[in-house]
């Protein structure tokens, strides 16, 4: 009986450590590197030291804080450059492979869920599951 209890406790601790490690790996700034041309739900991000004001990116901060660098306008028709803005939001891990993000986008609040995959420690692949609104 004691062996079963110790084994169960060990499994719980190992699962918690694995989730914590994945969450810690997500922390930091990530610049959008590319979007899959066949399925635009897949976005590849490269780890950077800080967000750049002139490119799309995400910054996962401790305590569930999030910064998103995004386009200011919906469709920059006639503009020669994209104007960016950085907005504040929040994030949380729903489980060990799905991150949920909330942040303002134009006139609404986005609630975005994505599957997290790491190519290695410098690249992050996010697959959009659903986005509200």
d(CA 112, CA 34): 19
**For the segment 9-64, what is each residue's pLDDT rounded down to a tens digit?**
444 444 443 444 567 889 999 999 999 989 889 999 999 999 988 899 999 999 99
Q: How far is CA 12 from CA 7, 16, 43, 80, in A?
A: 9, 6, 32, 54
**What residue numbers bound the domain in which 113 lies?**
2-132
Q: What is the CATH number of the domain that holds 110?
A: 2.40.128
**For the segment 73-124, what is each residue's pLDDT rounded down to a tens digit?**
766 566 677 888 999 999 999 998 999 999 998 888 999 899 998 767 889 9
- What is the tally of structural domains in the chain? 1
């Amino acid at each position: 009986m004691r062996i079963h209890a110790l084994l169960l406790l060990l499994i719980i601790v190992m699962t918690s450590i694995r989730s914590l490690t994945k969450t810690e790996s997500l922390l930091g700034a990530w610049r959008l590197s590319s979007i899959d041309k066949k399925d635009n739900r897949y976005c590849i991000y490269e780890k950077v030291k800080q967000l750049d004001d002139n490119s799309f990116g995400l910054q996962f901060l401790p305590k569930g804080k999030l910064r998103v660098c995004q386009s200011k306008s919906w469709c920059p028709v006639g503009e020669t450059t994209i104007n960016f803005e950085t907005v504040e939001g929040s994030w949380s891990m729903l489980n060990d492979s799905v991150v949920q993000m909330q942040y303002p986008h134009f006139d609404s609040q986005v609630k975005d869920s994505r599957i997290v995959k790491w190519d290695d420690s410098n690249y992050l692949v996010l697959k959009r599951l659903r986005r509200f609104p």
